[in-house]
Amino acid sequence: MLNYILRRLGAGLLLLAVVTAVTFWIFYVLPKWAGVTPRGMAAMYVGKAPTPEALDATVERLGLDQPVIVQFFDFIRSLVFGDQFQFGRETVECAAPCLGYSFTTNSPVLEQLLARLPITVSLALGAAVIWLIGGVAVGVLSAVKRGSVFDRLAMGTALVGVSLPIYFTGLLALAFIVHEWKVLPVPRYAPLTENPGAWFTAMLLPWITLAFLHAAQYARQTRAGMLEVLSEDYIRTARAKGLSERKVIFKHALRPALTPILTIFGLDLGLVLGGAILTEKVFSLKGVGAYAIDAIIGKDLPVVLGVTLLGAVFIVVCNLVVDLLYPLVDPRVRIAG
């Protein structure tokens, strides 16, 4: 068991290292191949109409004229040990893990990310709870009442849910629930610690919109999984013992049906934690996803790199947690590890 955990941990760290290397390569080496000179790179930092001296100083300061491998190790070093940056005569400390400085705001990327993280985490966790419980419940009910009106209605709705993009359902929800019917106030985000009520009302609609998309997929998956499990021999054994249908479904059928759901849940949660771009944009939430979009539009390379790495960390961590939970859920994995 310890062996399994160690191996999973090692694999997770290795994956992060690979993602870091690939991301660096995309942001610093590809432009070079595309013909962008070190000065061209520096121009992005310096701002409008830079003097050649200022450009050279930036090239010098960021080491943009160094060989790629040196730049990469600099990047890794500042990630691990932190770094110092000079702005004019001012020296700014950038503590580890240092993701560098934003081109546009001249503030540390990490600080900016952390400031926006609570919004994204609130959105992701809230929505995940809703879609997991809602999706699984609908899926189980659909499978048990296969072919009924409920089943057809639920699967029809699920198909709609999977097909409609967030910016459609989100805008529709905003238009009717907030502006037309005024059921909810116009969402204005406030941190949970300051004003829980405002936090909740602001998050409710984004949660439901984001959860709807995922719940649809979970309902379909759960239904398919349940139907498969319900035809297994061990379900017949359970019935032959004289167990009630409730016991058969909730004790014997649900657990194996949920095992594959756990895997996709890990992936989905990791993805959403890395920034639900569309949802954040539609509901004007200033989370990590919205930050990423602004950075991409503004060609703010360090920020884009930082957001990518953060997303990778979330996905790796979520999958790691799933991998560690798996042997608890399915004992057959224990020996295989």
Partner 1 sequence: MAPTEPVVRVDDLRVTFPTMDGDVQAVNGLSFEVPAGGALGIVGESGSGKSVTSLALMGLHRGSRARITGAIEVAGQDVVSATDRQLRAMRGNDIAMVFQDPMQSLHPQYTIGNQLVEAHRVHHPKTSKAQARNHAVGALDRVGIPDPANRINSYPHEFSGGMRQRVVIAMGLMCDPKVLLADEPTTALDVTVQARILDLLDELRRDLGMALILVSHDLAVVAGSVDEVVVMRHGVAVERGDVRTVLSAPEHPYTQALLAAVPRVEVSRAQRRAQDRSDRLDKEKREGTVTDPAKFEAFTPAPAGGEPLLKVEDVAQSFKVRGGVLGRSTDFWAVNGVSFDLYKGETLGIVGESGSGKSTLSRMIMRLLEPTRGRVVFEGQDITHMSERALRPLRRDVQMVFQNPYSSLNPRVTVGDAVGTALRVQGERDTKKIKLQVQELLERVGLQPNHYNRFPHAFSGGQRQRIAIARALILKPKLIICDEPVSALDVSTQDQVLRLLSELQDDFGLTYIFVAHDLAVVRQVSDRVAVMRKGEVVELGDSDAIYENPQSDYTRQLLTAAPLLDPDEARSQRAEREALRAEAARTA
As given in the structure block, the two tokens for residue 102 are 């934003």
Nearer Cβ to partner 1 (35/147)? 147
Please identify which residue in the block is written with the tokens 């999958």. 319
What region, left, alpha or beta, does residue 63 occupy, with left being phi > 0 and alpha being psi -120 to 50 degrees? left
Determine how many CB atoms are found less than 10 A away from the CB of residue 251: 12
Provide the CB-side half-sphere exposure for 36 (13 A, CA).
14
Q: Residue 12 Cβ, how far from partner 1 at the closest point, in Å?
A: 17
Angle (deg, nearest 10), helices 109-144 and 149-163 = 160
Cis check: omega of the bond before 97, within 30 degrees of 0: yes
CB closer to partner 1, 32 vs 247: 247
Query: Which residues bind to partner 1, rule: CB under 8 A?
Result: 3, 7, 232-234, 236-245, 247, 252, 255-256, 259, 329-332, 335
Q: Which is nearer to partner 1, 67 or 331 (CB)?
A: 331
**Residue 146 and residue 152: Cα distance in Å, rounded?**
8
For the CB of residue 231, give the shortest distance to partner 1 in the complex, in Å.
Answer: 11
CB of 219 to partner 1, least distance (A): 22
Output 4 or 85, the one with its CB closest to partner 1.
4
CB 10 to partner 1: min, Å: 11
Please report how close the Cβ of residue 245 comes to partner 1 at its closest, in angstroms. 8
* List of E strands, 17-88: 83-87
Residue 49 or 335: the one with the smaller Cβ distance to partner 1 is: 335
Q: Which is nearer to partner 1, 152 or 236 (CB)?
A: 236
Q: How far is the CB of 234 from partner 1 (least distance, A)?
A: 4
Please, which residue, 1 or 34, has the CB nearer to partner 1?
1
Residue 331 in 3-state DSSP? coil
The least distance separating partner 1 from the CB of residue 334, rounded to whole angstroms, comes to 9
C-alpha closest to that of 138 among 150, 123, 124: 150
DSSP string, 263-300: HHHHHHHHHHHT--HHHHHHTT--SHHHHHHHHHHTT-
> Could you tell me which residues come within 8 angstroms of residue 185 by beta carbon, excluding any fewer than 6 positions away?
178, 201
